[in-house]
C-alpha cells in the first residue's frame, strides 16, 4: 500500500485522535497503529448519498437576507416535491423548501459567484454544492461563523429527502436546502488539492459495522 493513495472517507476524527495519542505515548508499539477498513474508490458497491441542510431560528431580518441572497445569486424555478433533490450538474443546483413558497430549484447564476465567495479555495472545492451553500448562504447571507456551523447553531442536517421535507412541514426547520450526491471524482479532486470536504458533505454507504471487540487469542 506504500505507493497507493489513501483517502479518509469517514472517521477522520478518530484518525486524528489516534495520531495525537501515538505522539503523546511516543516510540514504537501497538499505539502506533490504528484499525482501518479499506475500499477501492471504483468498487461498484460504494455509494455516496447527500446530506441536506436544515435552517432553524430564522427571524425576520435573516429571512429577508436569505431571500435577497437567493434572488441575487440563483435562478429560481418551481419543481415538484418528488424531484426536489437534484442530481449533480453544472451549473450547481440545489432544491429549496420553506413553509411559504412551493418547492424550488435554485441554480447558481454563474460560477463566478462561487469563485468570489471562496477566493482562497481550489477550483474543485468551489464546484461543491455544499461549499456554495455554506459560503453564499450560511456565512454570506446569514452571517454564520465556522464555529456556529460546527456547533449546529441555527443549522441541522437530514440524511433523507423525506426527513428534510417532514422537518419543514412540521415546523422543526424554517427552510431546507436539498443537496445532490457528490460524485466520487469530485471528492478525489478536492483531496488532491490538499483540502478537506465541508462538514456533512458526503454520506458513504454502506456503513461498516462497528462495536466489535477484538482480543488476542494466543
- For residue 27, CA distances in Å to 22, 44, 138 come to 8, 40, 44
* Phi, psi values for residue 127, rounded to 5°: -95, 0
CATH number at residue 131: 3.30.1760.10
Least confident of 29-38, 125-134, 160-169, 203-212: 203-212
The per-residue pLDDT for 215 is 61
What angle is formed at CA 166 by the lines to CA 161 and CA 172, rounded to 5 degrees?
120
Same-domain pairing of 51 and 119? yes
What angle is formed at CA 15 by the lines to CA 188 and CA 24, rounded to 5 degrees?
140
What confidence tens digit (pLDDT) does each residue in 63-116 have? 999 999 999 999 999 999 999 999 998 899 999 999 888 899 999 999 999 999
Instruction: Say if 216 falls within a structural domain.
Output: no
Q: How many residues does the chain have?
A: 218
- For residue 141, CA distances in Å to 35, 45, 76, 167 come to 42, 38, 17, 22
Q: How far is CA 67 from the centre of its chain?
A: 22
Same-domain pairing of 25 and 92? no
Instruction: Say if 217 falls within a structural domain.
Output: no
Same-domain pairing of 98 and 6? no
Can you give the residue range of the structural domain that contains 112?
47-204
Full-prediction pTM beyond 0.85? yes
How many structural domains comprise the chain? 2
Amino acid at each position: 500500500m506504500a505507493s497507493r493513495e489513501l483517502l479518509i472517507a469517514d472517521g477522520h476524527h478518530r484518525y486524528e485522535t489516534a495520531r495525537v495519542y501515538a505522539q503523546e505515548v511516543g516510540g514504537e508499539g501497538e499505539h502506533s497503529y490504528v484499525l482501518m477498513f479499506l475500499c477501492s474508490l471504483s468498487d461498484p458497491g460504494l455509494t455516496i448519498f447527500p446530506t441536506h441542510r436544515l435552517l432553524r431560528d430564522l427571524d425576520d431580518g435573516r429571512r429577508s437576507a436569505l431571500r435577497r441572497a437567493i434572488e441575487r445569486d440563483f435562478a429560481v424555478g418551481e419543481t415538484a416535491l418528488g424531484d426536489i433533490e437534484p442530481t449533480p450538474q453544472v451549473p450547481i443546483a440545489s432544491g429549496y423548501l420553506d413553509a411559504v413558497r412551493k418547492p424550488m430549484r435554485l441554480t447558481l447564476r454563474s460560477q463566478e459567484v462561487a469563485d468570489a465567495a471562496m477566493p482562497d479555495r481550489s477550483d474543485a472545492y468551489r464546484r461543491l454544492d455544499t461549499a456554495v451553500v455554506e459560503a453564499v448562504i450560511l456565512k454570506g447571507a446569514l452571517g454564520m461563523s465556522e464555529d456556529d456551523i460546527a456547533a449546529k447553531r441555527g443549522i441541522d442536517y437530514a440524511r433523507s429527502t423525506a426527513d428534510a421535507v417532514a422537518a419543514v412541514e412540521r415546523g422543526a426547520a424554517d427552510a431546507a436546502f436539498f443537496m445532490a450526491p457528490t460524485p466520487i471524482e469530485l471528492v478525489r479532486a478536492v483531496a488532491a488539492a490538499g483540502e478537506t470536504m465541508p462538514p456533512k458533505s458526503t454520506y458513504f454507504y454502506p456503513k461498516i459495522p462497528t462495536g466489535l471487540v477484538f482480543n488476542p487469542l494466543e
